[in-house]
Structure 1
Amino acid sequence: MRLPFPIFVLGIAGLLPFMTLGGWIFLAGLFTPLPHLKVILLAYGACILSFLGAIHWGLAMERPDIITVGGTSQRDRQRLILGACPALWAWLALCVGILGHVRAGFGLEILGFVGTFLVEREAWKQGALPPGYLPLRTVLTVIAVLSLFLAALAPADG
């Protein structure tokens, strides 16, 4: 089963900032430091990483019986945890990138995207995610990670 076309288009559209900023920061950064663009990409990466967690909250909350007298199912508990972890990791990456060094923030975001993908791949194997979800997430993860990596490789600021 494939994802509905609008979801596919919106998923790909979400890559535009990654595809444009990561390469631009690297190439133009060879000639001049681009600290503001780095922070913008770092913030966008944190937003998207948080959104990936929100998808799992949505999957858990789509059923009206998530909180029952008998308790929450194991799969729903896993979804709720997976929903919160990327957002917390993104917040940490953004804080480290802004308060410490932006390269460290990019590195943490890369770990967050890869780690979330690996957990989602296991969930997909167990049938906990829609059939068309993982192929799209694979493309999204590869491009996001490549963009963040290129931005991290750009020459240091000023």
Structure 2
Amino acid sequence: MYPKRSLPKVMWWLGYGGLVPFFALTVALLLGSGLPLLENVRLDWWLAAYAAIILSFLGAVHWGVALGMQDTLDERDLGKLLLFSVVPSVLAWFSLLLPIKWALFVLAGLVALAYIVDSLLLFKHLSADYGKMRLHLTVIVVLLLVAAGVAV
């Protein structure tokens, strides 16, 4: 197995940059205001949709690791990674069927659960920096989704 390198700076920028919609939408919801050019949209649903997309992305990381390491992983580990590559997107999609307040709370729980699953199955295959970044991002996203759920 090759030594795990530090994450490239662009991954840090993209990871933390992904927080911008969470912050902007949550702050607007907390203040009861709109956002420029988005005066006639449901910001709470935009936030829930964005969170669902992020959860789908988090699941896709499992798929990518499984694909990249398929020759070195045993069948059981490969199967777990592939299973958990699709579970977040399916659960996130179902959460969008809930009333918006509950959708935001459920999505917050799913983001936290995704981190727990990733810490058990995924992080051992990746740079330790990825786990650190994901912890920071997870805490912030969960807090923002809960705050938005309280605000709506």
2:25 counterpart (21, 25, 36)? 21
Amino acid at match of 1:39: W
Do the aligned partners of 1:3 and 1:132 also contact (CA within 8 Å) in 2?
A: yes
1:49 aligns with 2:46: no
- The within-5 A match list for 1:104-119 is 104-119=102-117
Paired residues, number: 142
> For the residues of structure 1 that align with 2:15 and 2:75, how far apart are their CA atoms?
29
Do the aligned partners of 1:124 and 1:130 also contact (CA within 8 Å) in 2?
A: no
> For the residues of structure 2 that align with 1:76 and 1:64, how far apart are their CA atoms?
7
Consecutive unaligned residues of structure 2, counting only runs of 5 or more, are: 34-39
User: What do you get for the CA RMSD once the two structures are aligned?
Assistant: 2.2
Identity %: 32
Consecutive unaligned residues of structure 1, counting only runs of 5 or more, are: none
What is the TM-score of this pair, normalised by structure 1?
Answer: 0.81
1:136 counterpart (123, 133, 150)? 133
Greater relative contact order, per chain length (Cα 8 Å cut-off, separation 6+): 1
> For the residues of structure 2 that align with 1:23 and 1:150, how far apart are their CA atoms?
9
Which region of structure 1 is more displaced relative to structure 2, 145-154 or 37-46? 145-154
Partner of 2:37: none
Amino acid at match of 2:24: T
